[in-house]
């Protein structure tokens, strides 16, 4: 499986592997990755729950954001309380923003 594509765990049933192959072949995963990437570029420091809200989907960002991270397009920053899920979640940042700028970003804690 190429880096940063939809996949299933080795222990997942065959139907999960078929679903991953189908979502890639249909182009749906690529479209979802593009929408998630644009959301992170527009709102650096957002959580997966917030990305789902931005793109109007559910349970998409938690699948596609790690694929974008594998491709080197985004990375994780500190965890914080998600405004949508109300739980602590990882934040997602464009790779162009170094970690030290993430920590120092004014108003970060207020998100």
Position 65 in a domain: yes
Angle between helices 28-42 and 14-25 (to 10 degrees): 70
Summarised one tens digit per residue, pLDDT across range 53-96 is 999 999 999 999 999 999 999 999 999 999 999 999 999 999 98
Q: How many domains does the chain have?
A: 1
* 3-state SS, residue 81: strand
Position 1 in a domain: no
Position 5 in a domain: no
CATH of residue 90's domain is 1.10.10.10
Position 61 in a domain: yes
Summarised one tens digit per residue, pLDDT across range 24-34 is 999 999 999 99
Containing structural domain, residue 38: 16-105
Given pLDDT bands bounded at 50, 70 and 90, which one contains residue 110? very low
Which DSSP letter does residue 109 get? G
Position 111 in a domain: no
Position 26 in a domain: yes
In the numeric block, the tokens 């997942």 are attached to 12
Question: What's the CA gap between 62 and 97, in Å, rounded?
Answer: 21
State yes or no: pLDDT of 6 exceeds 70.
yes
């Amino acid at each position: 499986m190429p880096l940063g594509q939809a996949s299933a765990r080795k222990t997942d049933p065959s139907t999960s592997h078929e679903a991953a192959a189908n979502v890639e072949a249909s182009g749906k995963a690529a479209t979802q990755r593009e929408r998630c990437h644009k959301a992170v570029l527009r709102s650096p420091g957002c959580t997966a729950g917030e990305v789902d809200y931005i793109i109007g989907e559910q349970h998409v960002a938690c699948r596609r954001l790690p694929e974008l991270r594998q491709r080197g397009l985004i990375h994780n920053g500190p965890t914080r309380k998600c405004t949508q899920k109300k739980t602590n979640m990882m934040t997602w940042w464009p790779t162009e923003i170094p970690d030290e700028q993430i920590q120092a970003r004014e108003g970060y804690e207020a998100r």
